[in-house]
Chains A and B, each alone.
Chain A
Amino acid sequence: MIVCVAVVGHQNNPLYIQSFTEADDALKLHHIVHCSLDVVDERVNNPKKSGPTLNETFLGLLYPTENYKVYGYLTNTKVKFIIVATDLDVRDADVRNVDIALLRCNNASCLSPFFRRFHAAYVDAVSNPFHVPGKKITSTTFAERVSTIVKSFGLSSAG
């Protein structure tokens, strides 16, 4: 389940950040997103580890914390998408005795289309002539689209 999504500009300026939890932990999630920016920089500047997936927009798992997993995506225009997800799915799988390695790779391949849809929503939002490049995205349509994408992701991975 995705608990937080963020769009960060090329100067590490926040463009959009939204959490999807009932609890009042927005600050904690923002902190996690903030920390992940360093990991993105590290990945981009030392690309030797990536090997065959060199310069891929989807950066994969950035780092796991105790309760969350952070995934990243970096566009050609140096805009970063960060999502924070709970790793409930994996624990579910543990219970159901499914091969974890298989599921983990599927998790990543599930995320790739998620990011693509997210990127499409972002492109549409910044193509709005009233949007000022480099400023926060205030479009309500974008917010609605993002929450739809996040919700549908929750559904497809829960089944």
Chain B
Amino acid sequence: MNRKEITKPFQVEIESKQKQKIEVKMGREVSESCVDSLLTEMVSTYCNRFYANKPELAARRIEAIGYQVGHQLSERYTMERPRFSDHLEAIKFICKDFWSELFKKQIDNLKTNHRGTFVLQDNGFRWLSRISLDPSLENAESQDPSASTESKAAQATSMHLYFPCGIIRGALSNLGIPCAVSADISNLPACSFVVRIKA
């Protein structure tokens, strides 16, 4: 009788662990190319259809969508871990676990000035890996070597970065860190996100 009483809770614990395992196994998967297409389509819809003449407004809308996504994802991905004690720990979580969940790789380089600015560098950012300059633009460039076409291409690329910027900002602000996030493209598949924490 007594023995039964003692073993029961353990059984419950094992059962719940088995359930957890099943839940882990059944983690939902998303097709990469679908996400790529969705992102491209979203950017082009906002830039060319909804706010064709106001790129700042389009950028803000795309960033806002990213913010909501990051806000929700951070809740889900921090579920099984203890609370963060400082900003650096939260940023590290973004670099390691959060990034692995999103892109199956970690941030390659993290720099900080220890005064609230962090630079997260990804040497092969997945959402930029398929981006190339429009051939018609490149032809135009060879005929007319002006800087305007190049800047146009850079602008189109940077439009695709407002969404991941929003994701980072949403995730961090949900973790209690209000901040501003901007992106910087140096050479194409590599890109760095600059996080400035608001005091």
Contacts and interface: CB of A to CB of B under 8 A. Distances in A.
Nearest to B79: A119
A55 B93 CA distance: 15
A127 interface: yes
Interface string A102-126: 1000100110010010011011001
A113 B16 contact: yes
Interface residues of A, number: 29
Contacts, number: 59
A77 B176 contact: yes
Summarize B's interface: helix, strand, loop or mixed: helix
Nearest to A74: B83
A138 interface: no
B145 to A, nearest CB: 46
Contact of B83 (A57, A98, A110, A116): A57
A106 B83 contact: no
B56 interface: no
A133 B9 contact: no
B16 A123 contact: no
B175 A98 contact: no
A137 to B, nearest CB: 13
A38 to B, nearest CB: 18
Contact of A127 (B12, B76, B83, B175): B76
A127 B75 contact: yes
Contact of A75 (B5, B9, B68, B75): B75
A77 B74 contact: yes
A121 B82 CA distance: 19
Given A77-B75, A77-B175, A109-B13, A159 B8 contact: yes
A116 B75 CA distance: 13
Interface of B: 2, 5-6, 8-9, 12-13, 16, 68, 71-72, 74-76, 78-85, 174-176
Interface of A: 10, 54-57, 74-79, 96, 98, 102, 106, 109-110, 113, 116, 119-120, 122-123, 126-127, 129, 133, 156, 159
